[in-house]
Amino acid sequence: MRFGKIEYLNLAPFDVFSKKYRASSSFKKILMLHTNYPSKLNHEFLFGRIDAGFISSVMARPSHFKVKPLGLGIITNGEVWSVLCLNKESKNDYQSATSNALRKVLGLEGEVIIGDRALKLYHASKDKDFIDMGKEWKDKKHLPFVYGRLCCNANEGFYKDMAKAFARSPKVFIPCYIMDVYAKRLGLDSKFMRAYLKNLYYVIGKKEALGLGRFYRELRLKRIKPAKRY
């Protein structure tokens, strides 16, 4: 098994859960082998170099024969803090696929920045000269937004069971020592990071599925296609 891991703070709860999950020690070691940013993991997933991971929603359409969504995602119902459109010349974030497409769906002009880099900018900025795209989507569409989806292309039974186990108790407490590691790496305090994680949730229900459907519909209508190279 080859699981692709995103090293962003937004997946810290799933990371803590996966290390406690009743899996073999070899699988837990594998969790550390394939780490990358979202758009790179998309590439590795579609080419079969990993068999599961949180894949960008723009790439994780159920119609794609290689993609088997598992009912979990990275979701907000409003502000996200880590997906921003800066008041600069229009530019995509090479680490992203979904957020670059979301900017176009929302009709925004500016530079896209995502993940921990965006979170650090949000924390440091006093004038907030940017648009939080999670909030913008909520204001315009009145639905949650799903940034990435847990998908697999092999070992479906194992990953389905894992996803169901997480969905039963998705509010995972992150120990202080783990938050301290993130705090040191990002230069952010634990209180702010825990507040950020409260913006996020992970189980895709009816409203989240409606949000995904609306996003995919907008992509079709506006003929927006994700980049094929990363």
> What's the pLDDT tens digit per position in 84-133?
999 999 988 888 889 999 999 999 999 999 999 999 999 998 777 899 99
**Statement: residue 177 has pLDDT above 50:** yes
Question: Which residue's structure tokens are 């530079």?
Answer: 111
What is the rounded CA–CA span in Å between residue 129 and residue 139? 18
Q: What is the pLDDT of residue 74?
A: 97
Distance CA 17, CA 1 (A): 18
Q: Is the pLDDT of residue 227 over 80?
A: no
Q: Could you give phi then psi for residue 10, rounded to 5 degrees?
A: -65, -20
Domains of the chain: 3-76+144-221 (3.40.190.10)
Q: What pLDDT score was predicted for residue 184?
A: 94
| Pairing mode, strands 68-76 and 145-152 | antiparallel
Residue type at position 148? G
Structure tokens, 137: 């989507």
Contact 17, 168 (CB under 8 A): no
- Residue 110 near residue 158 (C-beta atoms within 8 A): no
Asked if 125 contacts 143 with a C-beta cutoff of 8 angstroms, the reply is: no
C-alpha triplet 137, 139, 141: angle, nearest 5°: 60
Q: How many angstroms separate the CA atoms of 138 and 130, rounded?
A: 16
Identify which of 93, 199, 81, 212 has the alpha carbon closest to the alpha carbon of residue 146. 212
pLDDT of residue 229: 45
Beta-carbon contacts of residue 71 (< 8 Å; ≥ 6 apart): 150, 163, 164, 167, 203, 204
Give me the pLDDT at residue 24, please: 59
Region of residue 215 (phi > 0: left; psi between -120 and 50: alpha; otherwise: beta): alpha
Nearest alpha-carbon partner for 10 in 80, 113, 100: 80
Question: How many percent of the chain have pLDDT more than 90?
Answer: 65
Q: Residue 230: its pLDDT value, please?
A: 42
Choice between 226 and 139, residue whose per-residue pLDDT is larger: 139
Per-residue model confidence as pLDDT tens digits over 28-86: 666 656 677 888 888 888 888 889 999 999 988 765 557 889 999 999 999 999 999 99
pTM: 0.91
**Mean pLDDT score across all residues of the chain:** 89
CA–CA separation, 192 vs 131, rounded Å? Answer: 19
Note whether 39 and 227 are within 8 A (CB). Answer: yes
CB-based contacts of 217, cutoff 8 Å, min separation 6: none
Residue 224 has pLDDT above 80, yes or no: yes
Residue 149: band (very low, low, confident or very high) from pLDDT cuts 50, 70, 90:
very high
